[in-house]
Each structure stands twice: as structure tokens, then as C-alpha cells.
Amino acid sequence: MMVTFISQCEKKALSKTRRVLDAFANRIGDNTWQTVITDDGLLTVKKMLRRTASKNTAVSCHWVRSRSRSQFLWVVGNKRKFDIEGRVPVNTTEKEVPMDIVREKPIKGMLYANTHLQRLDHHLFAVGYIAEQLYLRYYPNDKVRATTMLIAGCLHDIGKIDPEFQAWAVKDKNKSFIAEDGQHIEEAKFNFEKHPRHNEISLALYALLDDSAIKSVNGENKKRIKHAIFWHHAKPFRPKGGFETVGDIYRTLDKNVKGKAWTCVVEKSTELIEKVCELDSEYRDTTESMLSRSVLFSVDPEKIWDVESLQVPDYKEYRPCEQLDDYRYQTRSNAVNNQLRACLITADRWVSSLSANDLASAIKHKALDDLLTEKAEQNGLIPDSNLESHIADCLRTFPRDKRGDMQSETAQKLSGNSDRVGVLAGAAGCGKTKIALEWAKLRGAKQILWVCPRVQICQGLFAELSNSDTPYLPNATIELHTGEFKCVNTYDKETDESDYFSGDIVITTIDQLLNTVISHTKADSLLNYLGAHIVFDEFHEYINMPAFSLLFAELVASRNELAGGCNALLVSATPHYLYLDELLELDKHYDVVEMPSFNPCKYQFQFFTYDENKHDERNPLYQPVESGTFVISNTAITAQKSFVQNQHSENAVLLHSKYKKSDKRELFESVYESFCRSGAKQYDVLRSGPIVQASLNITSKQMVSEVCNAENNLQRLGRLDRFGSNLDGVNKYIIAIPDTLKNKKRTGRVARFMSSTNILSSALAWHEFLLEATDEGEKVLTLPEIYSIYRDFYENLTSQKCIAEDLVAAMKKSVEVIANKASEPKVIARSKKAHNQRAKISKISMRGDSRFVQMAVCDLGGFPDVSFLEEYAYRIPISESDTVDNLTSSSELIQGYGDSSKNLLAHMHKKHHNIMGGKKSYKDFVLLNEAVDAEFPVFLSYTPNDLLAVGGEAARHSEAIYYGICDKQPIGAISIKQFNNQKD
């Protein structure tokens, strides 16, 4: 096609756009370019223009169809530089044109939505309309909830009738006020501990204006309207609590504002709603607005007493149940609340960004749909890339053989199931990454969000797709976005904050995605999630993670009924069929597509019973092993102790999660380089916690594993002869089980750990089932036969009861964690200085309540002798710009899990001021609160010289945690008591 580009850019945008356009087209004028170009080439031009776009960018593109006709295609940048046909307007005036617009100076008696002086009725209608259209963009068949969205949007800020807010909004000094969490009254003497926020007043007004006689909205959707109105802003932190009922809101408002405040607010609210209804009817050319049939227009303010006991909506509505299908209903309900809230918050932010005149003009000229499209493009809700062609190029590099044909057939089956979430059950090493990419291509993906349960899995995938010797997608933008790493294509190229989540493929952790449904700041990002193609890699790991199991189910539920299909793929070799059926409502016969393994090698399970209190050669987790063996334990402590015990007799590497940041990255890369296909083999043995069991493309010749559930067991199996090289022999998989569990006594360290992670019953059931299916280890099996045993395990009624027991326990724990940590997004007033400060740990995290910690270093190279060194694990930062090579630990561990004799925080509170100087903290919880900043870590141990100030070695805590090292590598954080016990 032949296209013409027209530039109306200004200032620095001129040179930026000219560089792009000159590279693709011929300049035929000062501001005009023309060329013949393909569709893919045109997409590339548009994408590159967007990357350099600023407020001064304005480029239009026209397709030259014939000598006499051209077709306007698109604009990048400021659309106001062109008319609706992409032409440059030439008739302009700077004089004020008489129109029904809001003036810059406030008009007495007019109600305003913000300090931009947007008329409140304009703001309410525009937010309601755009929120409704946003919802329909994703769920076009759900007209009823779209109407619910309209009503919530038109009422969301009605509480700004509050006289206090109106007096604040019109003050000249507040005109440039920019708020992170919407606009709320901010004055020196004003606080929301004694005054309701406008969203709280909006809730009280809707409760008053609602009535059981109103049948146009059912009871369930009335609850959703209340939820969206109340939670379109975060809840302010109030140390003294309060504001939990409609009565609390009403009484504090009436008490704080002089005169008959409540009566005045109610009267003005009905007048305001009438204006909004008129705007809605005029805009749609209808005789009646749906809003007018959804609220009362004549109401006695005293009726508030009838609803004063109404509780404000819970952010997450979960309760513990005994039946799994009850949790499925709850996740669906919360998912709908997420969707409505995200649309409302997004619409509110977009409308609030306009000037009062621009908003009035958009309503007058019925241009809100254009505004929606423009904002959607600017915020990446309409992905546009050459990803399909990049994937096609990638697929052509793979050999066309039987395995490749089976992979393509599997991808086609998955892509054909467009209306439901697909599940790829692929055996270890079957090429799940390639299948997922081909599925995305067949589904027309413009962007893929690749979601992983852990950072290490993200790193492995990032290396595979972009920065390995033979990357899958060398020409695509592969973005790694985790808490630790934010980079594009290589670790050296950091992502600019404005480009977060803009890559062709974004590899991220589930934690980043859950921020869309548990926080306020990133709530609008849920729409980016709904618009992209999603791959949930190793999704089985969420099932026993407290809170994640339910919140992940919410995310999956939101994919149903999306316009254009679900476009979501769940990937795992072990898909936990009961969770799929009961929580996600997916059919294992219809939604699950299996990709068999082409690994022809043979495997044999061997079962080894041992005394877990013995750490000698009779314990398979501690005994010396052959070269090429992986020893995988359920905890990092076992891996550390076994490594130290064998450090002088083995060429081994130790990997777990209890390292400081730099060591973790270096060791991860060393393990990958040593044990990947054609690896350097600089190590003979890997001793590890469960960190290596999923999605790492590494292989071993033999494996020793601590007893665990079916999912972990088979994930570990996936690292045993992963590339099928042992064609003549049999791969041995040793499963170590304590004698107490073998004798059906649920006691001991291993049993306690598995019980705490809600896998004990299912793990024992799997062990018994596997013993029988393999004739107690006599059978030699192929991988397809092993995965067939896994499927049969989920068909067995006895097994199902044990699996359900653990799953219900995991759901109950999830409800408890959500109630404590995700019950409500909160906002705390921050000083202006806080914006440039170093990032801090969130005090509320789904994975655990962690804090920065510091510890002294000990040398375990001479074990059983331990040397305490005069150094600490990392340098504490001295300025805000310092990078932090930090360590973190859970608050529970720091405080001894409730055991006062193990409480290292209390020990620090007593000793630290004497050791390091300074004043003694008022209470130990002050130290814990400060430890969200790396500059103020909790000290879990001290160097010998530092202990001299408080009595020397006698002052060392018996549970002190040190950072162990040896000649070969770091050992990581470990309690010295672990080695004292072992030495004895």
C-alpha cells in the first residue's frame, strides 16, 4: 500500500518523529512523507512513533487508495491537531465562542467535581458512560452488568456535594492540585479521621436513594453498585477506626458541617441526579435514562435512620466453607467486583485528566467514544505489535518432525477452544513453551503476559526467549518485570517506568498481577490484563499458596465471556484436576489438552525409609551421592546442612531462596550453566530446596527427593534426564520418607512442614498410590506411564478424599490470609519527600510479612568447627540512591514464631543500642516497622567485636541467624543452632 504521513509535531517531538519517518518513507515536504509499505511495516512505524511520543507529538497516516481518494488510518499523539478525517484544521480563533461550557472562574452555586472545575454533573455522566462502554468492550454480552456499571459511575462522586469539599475545590491555590488517589480535601488542619471521604458520603446517599421497590436493578447488582462506589478509592488509614456503617458516615458529616448539612446534601443530590439523567438522555437520544429508573427522586432525609445499620461493603467477600464449590461461587463474585471497580477507576482517571472545557465539549459534541478510544490506545489497552510475525519466524526454526507435528496439533486444539480457558497438560520436556507461543500466534496475539509463580522461573524463561545463545524471539521485545528485575531483552537494559508492561511478551510474577485486584494504585491495570493473551506457567504452584489459590481463581474467572475469546492458557505438567474442576470449573475432558512426552527413556522409583533425626549415611538426603545427582529437599535448611556435611567430598553446588540478592542471581546462573543442555558441567551434584523443581531447563542423571505431594514429586521428576540422553540405562528416582510417616504416624519435622503447607494428606495418599502402582518400585516405567499413574490418582475415590481434605484446608487458610492482608486497600498520607525515596517493603504482602534483616557472617568451611567473622552479610545503604544487596526474613521467624525464647527482635531491642549506639527504641515493634527500609534492618546476629560491648560471646542469642559461607560458595542465612545440634 502507499501511505502518506503528515506531521504537526512541535518542539523536541519534531526531530524525534522525523528520524522515525525518514527511516521508512520519503520526505515530500517539510512535514509530509510518502512511501509504499507493507502492513507489518506500517505497524512498525506506528509502534516506533508511539515509543517516542510526547504531548507535542502529532502524526497522522493516510492510505492513498487512488489518485482521487485517500483513507484516513490513524493518529499518533495529539489528535486535536487534526479533525475527524485526519485533516489539519485551518479556521481557528482564540476568541471565546459562546457555548455551554464551564468557565475558568467558579460560578456561584455550581457544583464542581475537582480543582479543574469540571462540572459535577458533567463528570458523573462522563465517568458513568465511559465506564459502561469500557465494560461492554470486554464483556459485550453482559448488558445487565454494563447498566450496573453506568449507575455506579453516575453516582460514584455524588458525595462531592459535601459543602467542605466544594469550599476546598474552588480555592485558587488548589487549581494545580494533583492527587495520587483522586482528589480529596487536603488542608493543614483537615483530616479524615473526623470527616467522611466523598466516596463514603456517596455510599450513604445511594443507600438512602435506593429502595426495595426499585426492580430495574436486582439485589445482587445493588450490592455491586455499593461496592464499586465505596471502593473506587482506597480507604484512609484511621488509627481509631470508625466509619464502618452508613450511620457513622451520616452522623460525622452532620456533626462537622454547620447547618442542616445532611438535609441540604440529600436535596442537592436528587437535583444533581436529574441533571445527570438529562445529560444521559440527550447524549443517547432517548426519552429516559436508565439511571432515572434506578433511584428515588423524592426522599425524606430522615429515612437515613432506616439504613444507618448498613455495613460498608467488604473489599473481599470470602468466608470459610467446607465445600469447594462454595469457594468457586465466592471467587466468581469477587471477580465481577474487580471488573466493575477497574472500569470505574479507569474511567474516573481518564475523565479527571481533562480540562473542564474539554470535558464539556466532548459531551456537547458526543465525542466520549473518541475519548475512550484515544485513552485506550495511550494506555496500551489496544495492543499493537508484530508479535505474530516474530512467533512465525521462531516456529520456522524448529525441525519438522513427528514431535513438532504433535506440538502443532496440540496448539491447534488449544486455539480452537476460544470461549473457555485452555489447559496444556504437557509432560516434562515436551516443549510447552513452543506450544504456548504457537497457540498465541493462532489466537492472533498482539501481546502476551507470561505469568510465573516465582522469580527463578521468570529468569529461566527470560533466558530461553531472549538472551540465551539461541533465543526463541531475538527480534521481539521481551520484558522481565518482577520485584527485583525490570529489564528488556538483557539484564543490562533497564525498563523505563513509563514503558512498564509494554513489551511484546511481558514475563512477570503472579504477585505483580495480583496488585490489580488487591491494591488501588494499579487497579486500572486489570484492563491491560483482560486485553492481552495470558499464559499462566506452572499454575499448580498457586494451589497450596495461602491467598494465591483464591485470588488466582478470581483472575481466571475474569477471563470468561471476554470479547474475542478467553485467550488464556494454563500450563503445567501436573494440572491438579480437582482444583481445575472445583475451583476453576474447567472440564478435564474438554478444556485440558495433553501433550505426551517424546522422551523414550525408562524410569524407576525407589523408596527409602530413614530416621529423620539421623544425619549420616543412612539418611539418603545427607549421604554422599554419585556425580550427576540432584538432591532436592522440601526445605532450604535440609539442603544447607547436607551440603555443608559433604562439602569436602563432593563437587556440589547449593541453591535455595535464603541468599542475599547478588548471591542468589550468581548461583542461579551457575546452576543453569552447569546443568542445562550441553552445560559446562562445572558441578557434579546439585543440593537444593524446592526452588529448582519447576520450569528450569536443567537435567540430572539421578535424583533423590524428600517425600512430597504428587505435583512436587513429578515436577522434580521433570529435571531427571530431561533431554532423554540415557537410552540404554534406567533413571533412578529415590524417594526418601521418614519411618514415622511410613508407619502412619504424622509426627516429626517433615510431617509438620507438609501439614503447614496443606499437602500432608495428599502426599501420603500419593505415596501409597505410587507404591502400589509401581509394585513398590519393581516396575520400570516410561514417562507417559508415569503421567498415566498421576491421572489415575485423581480418579481414585480414596485419593480424592485426601486431596479434597488438603484443598479445603488450603482454601480456609487463604480466606484467613485475605482477611488479614487483602481485606482493603488503604492509603496513608505521605510527605512530598517520600516520592524520591528508595523503595521499601510493603508491610502487607500475600507471600508473607517480610522485613529487611542484617546478620553477621560465619565460616562453615571447617565444619564441625564454626568461625565467626568480623563482617556483616551486606553493606547497609547510607543514601537514598544506594542500591541494596539485601536480605529479608519473615516477621514470624524474626519473632520466633511466638516462642519468646527464640525471639530475635526482642533480643535486638535489649542489646542493639548498646552495641551500635543511639537511643533505645520505645518498643520492639518500632524496630520491626522501621525494617521495611533497608537502612534500618533487624539484626539477627552480631560480630564478635560488636558483642564485646554487651558481654562478649555469652551475649550471643542461642537462636542467632548467621550468613554462612565456605570456600566454595555462600551457604546463606541459617540459625547456628542447626549446626550445633548436628555437631553434637
pLDDT tens digits, 663-700: 988 998 899 899 988 888 999 999 999 888 866 789 99
Taking alpha carbons only, the member of 634, 558, 546, 590 closest to residue 425 is 590
The Cα–Cα gap between 971 and 176 comes to 54
Q: Give the E-state strand segments of 833-875 in sequence order.
A: 850-854, 856-859, 867-872
The Cα–Cα gap between 717 and 221 comes to 48
The Cα–Cα gap between 561 and 138 comes to 8
The neighbour count for residue 373, using CB atoms within 10 Å, is: 15
What are the φ/ψ torsions at residue 486 (nearest 5 degrees)?
-135, 95
pLDDT at 912: 93
The Cα–Cα gap between 252 and 193 comes to 10
- Beta carbons of 223 and 210 less than 8 angstroms apart: no
The Cα–Cα gap between 110 and 118 comes to 10
What is the chain's percent helix, strand, coil content, to nearest 5? Answer: 45, 15, 40
- For the segment 743-750, the average pLDDT, to the nearest whole number, is 89
What are the φ/ψ torsions at residue 863 (nearest 5 degrees)?
-50, 135
Taking alpha carbons only, the member of 482, 487, 750 closest to residue 633 is 750
Q: Report whether pLDDT(737) > 80.
A: yes
Q: Report whether pLDDT(47) > 90.
A: no
The neighbour count for residue 377, using CB atoms within 10 Å, is: 18
pLDDT in tens, 497-513: 878 888 999 999 998 99
Cα dist. 547→170, 342, 808, 816 in Å?
44, 20, 13, 8
- Beta carbons of 449 and 534 less than 8 angstroms apart: yes
Cβ neighbors of 143 (< 8 A, separation 6 or more) are 136
Q: Report whether pLDDT(597) > 90.
A: no
Q: Which residues pair with 888 in a beta bridge?
A: 852
The Cα–Cα gap between 555 and 558 comes to 5
pLDDT at 841: 72
Which carries the bigger pLDDT value, residue 59 or residue 98? Answer: 59
- For the segment 475-503, the average pLDDT, to the nearest whole number, is 87
- Beta carbons of 428 and 783 less than 8 angstroms apart: yes
The Cα–Cα gap between 383 and 405 comes to 30
pLDDT at 79: 83
pLDDT at 579: 96
Cell digits for 125? 455522566
- For the segment 421-433, the average pLDDT, to the nearest whole number, is 89
- For the segment 514-531, the average pLDDT, to the nearest whole number, is 89
pLDDT in tens, 598-610: 888 999 999 999 9
Greatest distance between any 2 Cα atoms in the chain? 94
Q: Among all chains, which residue has been given the C-alpha cell 559446562?
A: 680
Cβ neighbors of 73 (< 8 A, separation 6 or more) are 3, 42, 61, 62, 63, 86
| DSSP notation for 203-251 | HHHHHHH--TT--SS-HHHHHHHHHHHHTTSPEEP-TT----BHHHHHH
The Cα–Cα gap between 681 and 156 comes to 62
Is the N-terminal amide bond of 864 cis, ω within 30° of 0? Answer: yes
pLDDT classification of 843: cutoffs 50, 70, 90: low
Which carries the bigger pLDDT value, residue 142 or residue 176? Answer: 142
pLDDT at 104: 63
Q: Report whether pLDDT(514) > 80.
A: yes
- For the segment 204-232, the average pLDDT, to the nearest whole number, is 92
pLDDT in tens, 182-191: 777 766 566 6
Q: Running DSSP on this structure, what letter comes out for residue 524?
A: T
Burial class (CB in 10 A: 0-12, 13-18, 19+), 841: middle
pLDDT classification of 58: cutoffs 50, 70, 90: very high
pLDDT at 189: 62
pLDDT at 981: 59
pLDDT in tens, 101-146: 444 678 888 999 988 899 999 999 999 999 999 999 999 999 999 9
The Cα–Cα gap between 554 and 534 comes to 14
pLDDT at 101: 45
Rounded (10°) CA dihedral 202, 203, 208, 210: 110
- For the segment 494-498, the average pLDDT, to the nearest whole number, is 82
173-177, 213-217, 576-580, 880-884 — which one is most confidently predicted on average? 576-580
Length of the chain: 984
Secondary element (H or E) of residue 119: none
pLDDT at 831: 39
| Coil, helix or strand at residue 704 | strand
Taking alpha carbons only, the member of 835, 790, 380 closest to residue 596 is 790
Average pLDDT, the chain: 88
Q: Report whether pLDDT(92) > 70.
A: no
Q: Report whether pLDDT(828) > 60.
A: no
| Coil, helix or strand at residue 404 | helix
Q: Among 65-74, 98-107, 807-816, which stretch is predicted with the lowest mean pLDDT? A: 98-107
Q: How many Cα neighbours within 13 Å face the side chain of 905?
A: 27
Q: Among 273-282, 485-494, 734-743, which stretch is predicted with the lowest mean pLDDT? A: 485-494
The neighbour count for residue 87, using CB atoms within 10 Å, is: 12
The Cα–Cα gap between 503 and 480 comes to 9
Q: Which residues pair with 889 in a beta bridge?
A: 851
pLDDT at 839: 59
Cα-only R_g, the chain:
31
Query: How does 272-304 read in b/e, with b if 16+ C-beta sit within 10 Å?
Result: bbebbbebbbebeeeeebbbbebbeeebebeeb
- For the segment 85-114, the average pLDDT, to the nearest whole number, is 69
Query: How does 790-822 read in b/e, with b if 16+ C-beta sit within 10 Å?
Result: beebbeeeebbebbbebbbbbbbbbbebbeebb
The Cα–Cα gap between 536 and 556 comes to 10
Q: Among 92-106, 260-274, 334-348, 859-873, which stretch is predicted with the lowest mean pLDDT? A: 92-106
The Cα–Cα gap between 1 and 43 comes to 13
| Strand 568-572 with 533-537, pairing | parallel
